[in-house]
Amino acid sequence: MSGTDTTKEPIQALGGGGGPAIILVEPQLAENMGTAARAMYNCGLTDMRLVKPKQDWLSAKALAASSGASEVLKSAGFYESTEDALADRQFVAATTARPRDMIKTVWTPHHAGAELAKRATADTKIGILFGREKSGLKNHDIGLADVIIEAPLNPAYSSLNLAQAVLIVAYQWYQATQASEAEATPYGITRPANKDELNLLFQHLEYELDTCGFLHVEEKRPSMVLNIRAMLQRAALTEQEVRTLHGVVTELRYGRRDEAYDVRSDWKK
């Protein structure tokens, strides 16, 4: 999943001025602020807000960890309190395990992606709160949020690294704002073979298998032919691959033979 196309414009996130603000409350490690910035920018988010960070988010360590996303760190805002960081926000989600003593709606990150994208399209300014590495968000911070986002994880080991928590939420946001094809097969200059091309290949192959003797047992021939056809069908061959296979069959059958090789075992190293 590496590879950045520097010729492309960075995503302009929805919601005016950079999509949801990612608010890190009292983050402890500069490196985590850097990797969180990287995860944000991977998902087209640029509005990072730091509430009383414990280390310098512009230190060499933080900038190195942010990799190509140092601009996110450099433009990050510093705030004295979570309230200050949220002042201009209209809808706020807190990422945390569901609190025991507060009644808040809990969304999965996937559901949150869809819901927040919908709100952003309606120009609602969104903030997403992430807590301290060790202890998460305090109840006071959670109380400032409209909803909770909780990622379903291995119940025996659900403690996420800060940047990984940011990534999961930002990734689902980004997916919800993009139309991605769930499955695609990019053919480039070729295309899927049509059935006529495939049938000609079957005819060619079966003719040669007949004449070389592979299909000589009369009663087994029909099922062998069907099986060979089935496996080639399943391969969903392209037109180019069909042409290649014609060549393979011809060369195997009529190509140069070196009788000095034991052709049955020489391919094994």
178 binds a second copy (CB under 8 A): yes
**Burial environment of residue 7 by CB neighbours within 10 A (0 to 12, 13 to 18, 19 or more):** exposed
Query: Binding to a second copy by residue 97, rule CB under 8 A?
Result: yes
Shortest reach from residue 263's CB to a second copy, in Å:
24
Q: CB of 50: closest distance to a second copy in angstroms?
A: 18
CB of 170 to a second copy, least distance (A): 10
Q: In degrees rounded to 5, what are phi and psi of residue 142?
A: -60, -35
Window 112 to 131, contacts with a second copy (CB under 8 A): 131
> Closest approach of Cβ 215 to a second copy, in Å?
29
Per-residue interface string for the shown chain with a second copy, residues 128-167, x marking contact by CB under 8 A:
---x-xxxx------------xxxxxxxxxxxxx-xxx-x
Lookup result for tokens 């990612």: 22
Site for a second copy (CB under 8 A): which residue of 81, 175, 197, 221? 175
82 binds a second copy (CB under 8 A): no
Least distance CB 103 / a second copy (angstroms): 6
CA neighbor of 31 nearest in space, from 53, 2, 7: 53
Distances in whole angstroms, Cα of residue 263 to Cα of each of 2, 208, 257, 260: 42, 18, 9, 9
Is residue 185 part of the contact set for a second copy (CB under 8 A)? yes
* Interface region with a second copy, contact rule CB under 8 A, candidates 21-29, 67-75, 219-227, 251-259: 67-75
* Near a second copy by CB under 8 A: residue from 22, 23, 29, 38: 38
**Contact by Cβ (8 Å): 61, 34:** yes
By the rule CB under 8 A, 39 interacts with a second copy = yes
Burial call 52-75: b when 16+ CB within 10 Å, e when fewer? ebeeebeeebbbebbeebbebbee
Q: Cα–Cα distance between 230 and 250 in angstroms, integer?
A: 21
For residue 125, the minimal CB distance to a second copy (Å) is 19
Q: What is the 3-state secondary structure (H, E, C) of 86-138?
A: HCCCCEEEEECCCCCCCCCEEECHHHHHHHHHHHHHCCCCEEEEECECCCECC
- When the beta carbons of 133 and 206 are compared against a second copy, the nearer one is 133
Which CB sits closer to a second copy, 35 or 215? 35
